[in-house]
Amino acid sequence: MAEGAWGLVLLARVVGVGAAVALLLVSGVWDSWRTAQHVMLTKGRERGTMTLVDCGDSLCTGPFAPKGTAVARARVTISLPIRHTTGAKIPVAVEPGTDKVVRAGWGGVLFAWVPFGGALLLAAVVLAGGLRMRRTAWALAGLGAALLTGAFLTL
């Protein structure tokens, strides 16, 4: 193979793996932001507490007690996992235009960014294997593991 052709192959590998890592990270941020915006951008959002009344396999339902100018609701739903039992009161934020709520506070913020933490871990594997950038991969993996651990511990 000629010198110039080998350089193009290496360049294609760097560009391809870099694009794959960028796609993984952007998709993780995109998926996380759908939930995180309701928890992190609090101005104008309805916030309050939810009392867990009925919990099934994937959802818990219960009444919403408002805080501030929010409107009380007889029944709202929240997706699991949450480490609480029936009767527990948890801080939540209401998704606009729905009766769905998301966990508020640090636990909610960290849990909202779980998809990004998974993307960091996967991007680390791709980066280490595709470009042999082991130190950068370890840094990404450490950030992803810290995010996932923090989300697990605060729920």
Pair 47, 84 in one domain: yes
- Domain stops at, among 89, 106, 123: 106
Pair 116, 84 in one domain: no
Q: Which residues pair with 48 in a beta bridge?
A: 66, 92
Pair 73, 87 in one domain: yes
Query: Over 60: is that where the pLDDT of 54 sits?
Result: yes
Pair 47, 35 in one domain: no
Pair 49, 92 in one domain: yes
Pair 47, 102 in one domain: yes
3-state secondary structure of 103: strand
141, two tokens: 């993996």
Give percent of the chain above pLDDT 90.
Answer: 47
Give, in degrees to the nearest 5, the angle at Cα 109 between 97 and 79: 55
pLDDT band at residue 81 under the 50/70/90 scheme: low
Query: Over 70: is that where the pLDDT of 28 sits?
Result: yes
Q: Which residues pair with 103 in a beta bridge?
A: 92
Query: Over 90: is that where the pLDDT of 18 sits?
Result: yes
pLDDT digit string (tens) for 87-107? 888 889 998 888 899 888 888
Residue 84 backbone phi and psi in degrees, to 5: -135, 160
Question: Which residue range forms the structural domain that includes residue 73?
Answer: 41-106
3-state secondary structure of 33: helix
Give the residue among 50, 29, 19, 22 at the shortest CA–CA distance from 117. 29
Pair 45, 102 in one domain: yes
Structural domain tally of the chain?
2
pLDDT at 2: 64
Pair 80, 123 in one domain: no
Pair 52, 30 in one domain: no
pLDDT at 140: 95
